[in-house]
Amino acid sequence: MKTPVVITGVGTISALGHNVDQFWRAICNGESGIRTLTCLPLESLRVKIGAEVPAYEPYEFFSKDELHLLDRFSQFAVISAREAVADAGIMAEELTDAACIIGTGCGGRVADDESYQRLYQQGKTRGHPLTVPLVMANAAASQVSIHLGITGPVFVIASACSSSAHAVGQATAMIRSGLVDVAIAGGTDAPFTYGTLKPWEALRVMSSDTCRPFSKDRSGMVLGEGAGAVVLESLEHAKKRGAHIYAELAGCGMSADAGHITDPSSAGAARAIRAALNDASINPGDVDYVNAHGTGTKVNDVMETQALHQVFGEHAARLMVSGTKSMHGHPLGAAGALELVATALALKNGIIPPTANFTEAGEGCDLDYVPNQAREKKIKTALSNSFAFGGLNAVLAVRSIS
């Protein structure tokens, strides 16, 4: 019998605010955090919008000495992990042997971009001496470990848009195996640099106005930034310390398309969904809500709808499905973590997040996408989908503990 794993703390920083309260309030109101970018010059950018963390001042969260070693993506990871730990009410000594697994798609892009500007644009012959510890992908997990005193297993997972969902799945497996009782898992990314945005523009999957998942007039994805984190514990450990429990992390499903590097497969997505249901011993007909990957691209939204039909059959018509990237954008490696937090809060509060900016359903998109307004409804079981470039899929199943 699998050891039950539960979510006892949540933390976020995103385009919807600097903490979970702001994040959840915006989601319940269907407010979008997509706006004109302010963090870099826009003259030579074709796409000038993004889901940028608003009014972010690093010195409100870190000292000057700390910031020398914190790229923006690491800052976000530490902020969200701190909030999740405080929310869980877990003591510092209980974190010592915990695990910390963070997902990222980009790593330290801000420091990376600054390094290239220094060498190629300014003609410097020496790099900044701290560039390597700033840009390395594992910096985010290492900095969370340092700031929270975690000395157990600590590492990063990089699987593009599925990174943080994979991180949560790995953390869950480690708790189930008895390796640790507590884990902090999540994801972070900060992709708003010139050197990152221009290649994304070249892919021609970016919207120039907003993100409208599943809508007929959807025009592409909108990049975001931020981080999400959850505290996971064995149910026994959580009960022993009288912890507040959001939901059970009941199942994790993973698959690879083994197909095209950017063209997703509904069969691959369906395999991951089925694997999550099987892992959690959940019947398809018992699922109430799906937080969709829902990027707003022409290909992804149809593929995901097809995958849900393949797994759920007639029950698909009764599912509530929403794409919260319409509000917090697509923060790449952080997406799955932010969406897991939204899904856990939906279970806890009986409020289903909407798909914002929805107009009318697009061809091949024929499900209940909870358009524009949150829906009050008590639910017991939900899924959070993450499908990444490279055909790497991760699905998390959450279940009410009461």
Report the pLDDT averaged over residues 169-191. Answer: 98
CA distance 257 to 253: 13
307: tokens are: 């995958």
What are the tens digits of pLDDT across the range 30-41? Answer: 999 999 999 999
Residue 330 a catalytic site member = yes
**Can you tell me whether residue 107 is helix, strand or coil?**
coil
- What are the two backbone dihedrals, phi and then psi, of residue 190, each rounded to the nearest 5 degrees? -140, 80
What are the tens digits of pLDDT across the range 334-385? Answer: 999 999 999 999 999 999 999 999 999 999 999 999 999 999 999 999 999 9
The answer to whether 11 and 83 have CB atoms below 8 angstroms apart is yes
* pLDDT tops 80 at residue 270: yes
Average pLDDT over the chain, rounded to an integer? 97
Instruction: Single out the catalytic residue among 18, 147, 328, 330.
Output: 330
CA separation, residue 131 to residues 158, 173, 227, 333 (Å): 20, 33, 21, 21
CA distance 368 to 346: 16
Residue 293 a catalytic site member = yes
Residue 100 a catalytic site member = no
**Could you tell me which of 233, 296, 306 has the C-alpha nearest to residue 265?**
306
CA distance 334 to 262: 19
What are the tens digits of pLDDT across the range 194-243? Answer: 999 999 999 999 999 999 999 999 999 999 999 999 999 999 999 999 99
53: tokens are: 């963390």
**Could you tell me which of 134, 97, 85 has the C-alpha nearest to residue 112?**
134
With a CB cutoff of 8 Å and minimum separation 6, the contacts of 215 are 296, 357, 358, 359, 360, 361, 362, 365
Residue type, 261: I
Instruction: Single out the catalytic residue among 100, 161, 211, 252.
Output: 161
- Torsion of the alpha carbons at 389, 391, 392 and 395, rounded to the nearest 10: 100
Q: What are the E-state strand segments in 41-164? A: 49-50, 99-103, 154-157
**Could you tell me which of 328, 297, 326 has the C-alpha nearest to residue 52?**
328
375: tokens are: 């829906």
The answer to whether 289 and 253 have CB atoms below 8 angstroms apart is no
With a CB cutoff of 8 Å and minimum separation 6, the contacts of 195 are 109, 112, 113, 116
Instruction: Single out the catalytic residue among 147, 293, 309, 328.
Output: 293
CA distance 346 to 7: 13
Report all structural domains of the chain as residue ranges with CATH numbers, in order of start.
5-240 (3.40.47.10), 252-399 (3.40.47.10)
CA distance 83 to 19: 7
pLDDT for res 300: 97
The answer to whether 338 and 399 have CB atoms below 8 angstroms apart is no
State what percent of residues in the chain have pLDDT above 70.
100
Provide the 10 A C-beta neighbour count for residue 360.
11
DSSP run (H or E) holding 202? helix 194-203
With a CB cutoff of 8 Å and minimum separation 6, the contacts of 14 are 23, 33, 51, 53, 224, 225, 226, 227, 228, 328, 331, 334, 338
pLDDT for res 1: 75
Q: Where are the alpha helices (DSSP H) in 296-334?
A: 298-312, 325-328
What are the tens digits of pLDDT across the range 95-117? Answer: 999 999 999 999 999 999 999 89
pLDDT for res 349: 98
DSSP run (H or E) holding 384? strand 381-388
